[in-house]
A and B are shown apart, each in its own frame.
Chain A
Amino acid sequence: MSQMQLKSFLLWLAPTLLGILFFILLWSGVSTATDGKIPTPAVTWTAGVELFADPFYDNGPNDKGIGWNIMYSLGRVGLGFGLAALVGIPLGFWIGRSLFASRAFNPIISLLRPVSPLAWLPLGLLIFNSTHWAAIWVIFISSIWPMIINTAVGVSRVPSDYMNVAKVLRLNEWQIMTKIMIPAVLPYLLTGVRLAIGVAWLVIVAAEMLTGGIGIGFWVWDEWNNLNVAHILVAIIVIGMIGLMLEAALVWLAQRFSYGE
């Protein structure tokens, strides 16, 4: 490593470490002020190490390791999000290409998009008669909007020059789709996907608190009923880290599919 690189690395490292240190001090302060009701960082760390020593134990339906709970939550997010992509992306393409469709759908989307995702939960429980599918339904409905909207915006911003090239070459609908529309829209689409998965991961914790069953959201609620606050703090950090990893994975994906003009 050259001296310049070392210097810029240290200039990055020092404030980062200071920030973490400040956060830990603040946390310890809160812990002291609450007479240990909020566990100290050290206690939380020990609890975390214990939890992750055996994350995948299985003592029947109501007592599974934290690993299982995370897996169930990720599974619901994946399923709800995947179904939303399956419906939302084609719908976004249609709205972007057709004035009729955009006029037909835009008022409805504008009305439904600001609704808090959890407001959809009772409808899901009623229709699907299953807490598992109701949670997936909430993920579906909350992650579909960013995908529809970003895809439609991407489609409407495909440069008219590219479409003129397509016209001169007399490309058919399929070729226009695969050779021009999809590559041109992909960066917008991936932005939509990134926003959607962020929302989905936010919402799953809240939804599972209400629906119960296995999942990191209900796990947090269960630990609250057990008054095991250290476990709640571990869960918060784990939820944050998983959200961070999902985001990083999609940023990496978006960079792979970006191109200069």
Chain B
Amino acid sequence: MNLDKFVSLENIEMTFHTKSGAFTALKDVNINIKQGEFVSIIGHSGCGKSTVLNIIAGLYPASEGVALCADREIAGPGPERAVVFQNHSLLPWLTVYENVMLAVDSVFAKTKTKAEKDDWVNYNLKLVHMDHAAHKRPNEISGGMKQRVGIARALAMQPKVLLMDEPFGALDALTRAHLQDELMKICAEINTTVVMVTHDVDEAVLLSDKIVMMTNGPAATVGEILSVRLERPRSRLALAGDAEYLRCRQAVLTFLYDKHRKDDH
């Protein structure tokens, strides 16, 4: 297996056929992601960064080009590419435990016994510190907690790639920072490949090994790719004055607000 091209998008083009005609959202998108790498996709709203994520997830079939994951063509959605949705998407009629169990039940239907499934659900809830609320329903817990459960559900699928679509976008700044720190700990522990869509520059630099910067749409494409050469574990406090951190932050800001400024809102 080609570990340098664990996830690979080659010449991806995405055209949506709407009532007002064809709309090309993405053109010539090329991204390679190594196994175990944390990659952020950043860009202005409407640049198609979520579309890229949905192509990797298999929820959208690309109009042109090749999308590969672990040397296999991405033909549709599946649990090996688990998604953490922006609005958590927990089923409101199931408890926290049942939401994670739904995923575990369908992914490990034949490979785990009932007791093993139960252990695995509890292990993942503990990982995101939500074991205390296992029997609450989504409407009884806070937004941050819902997103934790969303992450637990995705991790419980034991995915090859964890896909996150602006996972912390709807949270307040303090909760967001807290969850970012915990996500870093979890990623260090299970060493998974992560692709995250974000519009938050600090979040991208803090979490990523590589930042993919997208130009504005229509026909958006990859503008620059920035490697973040910061040691792990990272601490947001220590990095605040770090030269490499500031250099990366500056590079992303320059890309977004100088080279590819968006004026229409």
Q: Which A residues form the contact surface with B (CB < 8 A)?
A: 159, 161-162, 164-165, 167-171, 175, 179-180, 183-184, 259-261
Q: Would you call A169 and B89 a contact (CB within 8 A)?
A: no
Residues in A neighbouring B83, C-beta threshold 8 A: 164, 168
B19-63, CB under 8 A of A: which get 1 and which 0?
Answer: 000000000000000000000000000000000000001110000
Question: In this assembly, does B246 line the interface, its C-beta being within 8 Å of a C-beta of chain A?
Answer: no
Which of B87, B106, B107: most chain A Cβ within 10 A?
B106
Least CB distance, A57 to chain B, in whole angstroms? 48
Residue of B nearest to A257 (CB): B93
Residues in B neighbouring A171, C-beta threshold 8 A: 106
Q: Would you call B139 and A168 a contact (CB within 8 A)?
A: no
11 further A-B pairs in the complex, CB-CB below 8 A; given A167-B59, A168-B57, A183-B93: A159-B89, A161-B89, A164-B83, A164-B89, A168-B59, A168-B82, A168-B157, A169-B103, A184-B93, A261-B138, A261-B139
Q: Would you call B91 and A162 a contact (CB within 8 A)?
A: yes
Residues in A neighbouring B137, C-beta threshold 8 A: 259-260
Question: In this assembly, does B177 line the interface, its C-beta being within 8 Å of a C-beta of chain A?
Answer: no
Identify whether the interface residues of B are mostly helix, strand, loop, or mixed: loop
Residues in A neighbouring B157, C-beta threshold 8 A: 168-169
B55-85, CB under 8 A of A: which get 1 and which 0?
Answer: 0011100000000000000001111011101
Least CB distance, A177 to chain B, in whole angstroms? 14
Residues in A neighbouring B78, C-beta threshold 8 A: 168, 170
Least CB distance, B61 to chain A, in whole angstroms? 12
Q: Would you call B85 and A164 a contact (CB within 8 A)?
A: yes
Residues in A neighbouring B106, C-beta threshold 8 A: 169-171, 175
Q: Would you call A169 and B81 a contact (CB within 8 A)?
A: no
How long is the Cα–Cα vector from A118 to B259 in the complex, in angstroms? Answer: 72
Residue of B nearest to A159 (CB): B89
How long is the Cα–Cα vector from A259 to B131 in the complex, in angstroms? Answer: 22
How long is the Cα–Cα vector from A159 to B76 in the complex, in angstroms? Answer: 20
A/B interface sample: 22 pairs, CB < 8 A = A159-B89, A161-B87, A164-B85, A165-B85, A165-B91, A167-B76, A168-B57, A168-B79, A168-B81, A168-B83, A168-B157, A169-B103, A169-B106, A169-B157, A170-B77, A170-B78, A179-B91, A183-B91, A259-B92, A260-B92, A260-B137, A261-B138
